[in-house]
Amino acid sequence: MTQKLEPVLHALANDTSLDVSSSGLMEGVWERVGAATARRERTMRSALFVGLFVIGLGVGTLTVQPSVYAKDASYLVFNDARLSPAALLHVDS
């Protein structure tokens, strides 16, 4: 198909007349339009992917995290001696 379309495009660029069947020309034109549309969609998807990647990477690296210190875990609910199993079962130890 490209062999039929290239002489037509060359003739149009040079402003010369060329005898071409209209059905082959229209097929070639629509083929080129489809290829151009597919390239534009691929470019748009790639740009969106790169944008989301950069935003995600920026948010991940620029997020401020508080310093972490090692200390004993304190669970106020469970530190009370009244909640020990012996106290709950009224067992004297």
Q: Is this prediction's pTM over 0.85?
A: no
Report whether 27 contacts 2 (CB < 8 A): no
Burial, 45: exposed, middle or buried (Cβ in 10 Å; 0-12, 13-18, 19+)?
exposed
> Which residue matches tokens 């130890």?
93
pLDDT digits (tens, 9 = 90+) for 11-54: 777 765 555 566 677 788 888 899 999 999 999 999 999 999 99
3-state secondary structure of 37: helix
Q: Per the structure block, which two tokens stand in for 51?
A: 């944008």
* Residue spans per domain, the chain: 2-64
- Summarize the confidence of residues 48-63 as an average pLDDT: 90
